């Protein structure tokens, strides 16, 4: 690693970790990068900066590389730096402290200057679209290591104990293949009828630039819950209900169940993640 200087930016120290993922319950974590020095918060106020209270749990977007600090001023240490256009979740009840907002990004909670934050555009339509895609999977078979369904086509079948199970038919999904389709991650994974399995639960269990950890108290439609422990894991799409109690959810639940819409609970092993 080395320090570098770029025109118009302070020195930065960039750490990168990259590994590959395979399977619904197994695999390794995805690419993560962290900038350790961002814009000088004392320089001024960015365009469309926020200064007033926002909705608790709102999505806030950075307007440049922005430091996440351990307290609400530049005298506090930098925990990490959020890249420009990153989405962070408000975590302090909505109101700033001396112009600084308490936010969570990539699983880390700290303070960021409102001078370089804006309220992210409404994601309501994107959430509705994710639920619509999830609804199309209901009734299709569970298929380990796969993700694809075509409403109106044969749903397929799964027998045995996964991953050593037998699948018949051209469509079906496992838990992580299902979530990747519902969320359209990556962006090329947009055709629900095209079989694709880009991520495992290990990927979804670790924050990336595409999804971040949120409190289960602030769950919104089309957020997800996930866990992965010692290679075993599961994930499902939240629709409504109590994040710590009974929830309506979409999920590809297992070989004997297939892809379902059901009322369920989740143990404390699960944590919540947000894409939209």
Q: What per-residue confidence (pLDDT) applies to 66?
A: 94
Query: Is 11 a residue whose pLDDT tops 80?
Result: no
Query: Is 113 a residue whose pLDDT tops 90?
Result: yes
**Virtual CA dihedral for 186, 60, 213, 136, nearest 10 degrees?**
-50
Determine the Cα–Cα distance for residues 228 and 238; give it in Å rounded to an integer. 17
Q: What per-residue confidence (pLDDT) applies to 122?
A: 59
Determine the Cα–Cα distance for residues 215 and 232; give it in Å rounded to an integer. 22
Cβ(102)–Cβ(92) below 8 Å? yes
Q: What per-residue confidence (pLDDT) applies to 46?
A: 67
Q: What per-residue confidence (pLDDT) applies to 47?
A: 65
With vertex at residue 109, the alpha carbon angle to CA 230 and CA 71, rounded to the nearest 5 degrees, is 145
Domain boundaries defined on the chain: 38-119, 124-274
- HEC per residue, 97-118: ECCEEEEEECCEEEEEEHHHEE
**Matching CATH number, 124-274, of 2.130.10.10, 3.40.50.300, 3.40.50.460, 3.90.1720.10:** 3.90.1720.10
> Regarding predicted confidence, which is higher, 175 or 89?
175
Determine the Cα–Cα distance for residues 197 and 86; give it in Å rounded to an integer. 25
pLDDT in tens, 13-36: 333 333 333 446 444 333 333 435
Determine the Cα–Cα distance for residues 207 and 142; give it in Å rounded to an integer. 25
| Residue 196 in tokens | 């694709």
Q: Confidence band (pLDDT; 50, 70, 90) for 2? A: very low
pLDDT in tens, 51-96: 888 888 888 888 889 999 999 999 999 999 998 878 888 999 889 9
Q: Confidence band (pLDDT; 50, 70, 90) for 142? A: very high
The CA-atom distances, in angstroms, between 25 and each of 156, 223, 254, 256 are 21, 19, 12, 17
Whose structure tokens read 């619509």? 132
Global pTM reads: 0.61
Determine the Cα–Cα distance for residues 107 and 118; give it in Å rounded to an integer. 20
Which of 250, 260, 261 has its CA nearest to residue 140?
260
Q: What per-residue confidence (pLDDT) applies to 123?
A: 67
The secondary structure of the chain as a DSSP string is ---EEETTEEEE-EEEE-----SSS------EEEES----TTS---TT---S---TT-EEEESS-EEEESSSSTTSPEEEEEPTT-EEEE-SSS--BTTEEEEEETTEEEEEEGGGEEEPPP-HHHHHHHHHHHHHHTTPPB-TT-EE--TTS---EEEEETTEEEEESS-EE-HHHHHHHHHT-STT---TTS------HHHHHS--SS-EEE-GGG--TT-EEEEEETTEEEEEEEEEE-TTS-EEEEEEEETTTEEEEEEE---TT-EEEE--
CATH class of 38-119: mainly beta
Please state, for a pLDDT cut of 90, what percent of the chain lies above it: 61
Average pLDDT rounded to a whole number, residues 222-229: 97
Query: Is 192 a residue whose pLDDT tops 90?
Result: yes
For the chain, the straight-line distance linking the first and the last C-alpha, in angstroms and rounded, comes to: 32
Average pLDDT rounded to a whole number, residues 216-221: 92
Q: Across all residues in the chain, what is the average pLDDT? A: 85
Q: What per-residue confidence (pLDDT) applies to 6?
A: 34
Average pLDDT rounded to a whole number, residues 26-51: 63
């Amino acid at each position: 690693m080395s320090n570098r200087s770029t025109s118009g930016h302070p020195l930065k120290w960039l750490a990168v970790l990259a590994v590959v993922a395979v399977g619904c319950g197994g695999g390794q974590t995805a690419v993560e990068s962290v900038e350790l020095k961002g814009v000088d918060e004392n320089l001024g106020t960015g365009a469309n900066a926020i200064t007033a209270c926002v909705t608790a749990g709102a999505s806030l977007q950075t307007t440049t590389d922005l430091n996440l600090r351990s307290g609400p001023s530049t005298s506090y240490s930098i925990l990490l730096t959020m890249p420009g256009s990153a989405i962070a979740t408000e975590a302090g009840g909505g109101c700033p402290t001396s112009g600084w907002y308490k936010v969570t990004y990539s699983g880390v909670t700290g303070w960021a200057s409102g001078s370089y934050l804006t309220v992210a555009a409404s994601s309501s339509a994107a959430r509705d679209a994710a639920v619509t895609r999830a609804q199309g999977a209901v009734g299709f078979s569970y298929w380990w290591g796969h993700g694809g369904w075509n409403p109106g086509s044969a749903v397929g079948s799964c027998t045995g104990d996964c991953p050593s199970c037998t699948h018949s038919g051209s469509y079906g999904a496992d838990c992580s293949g299902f979530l990747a389709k519902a969320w359209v991650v990556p962006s090329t994974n947009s055709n629900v009828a095209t079989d694709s399995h880009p991520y495992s639960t290990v990927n979804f269990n670790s924050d990336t630039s595409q999804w971040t950890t949120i409190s289960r108290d602030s769950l919104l439609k089309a957020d997800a819950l996930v866990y992965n422990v010692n290679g075993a894991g599961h994930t499902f799409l939240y629709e409504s209900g109590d994040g710590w109690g009974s929830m309506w959810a979409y999920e590809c639940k297992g070989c004997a169940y297939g892809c379902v819409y059901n009322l369920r609970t989740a143990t404390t092993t699960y944590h919540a993640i947000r894409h939209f």
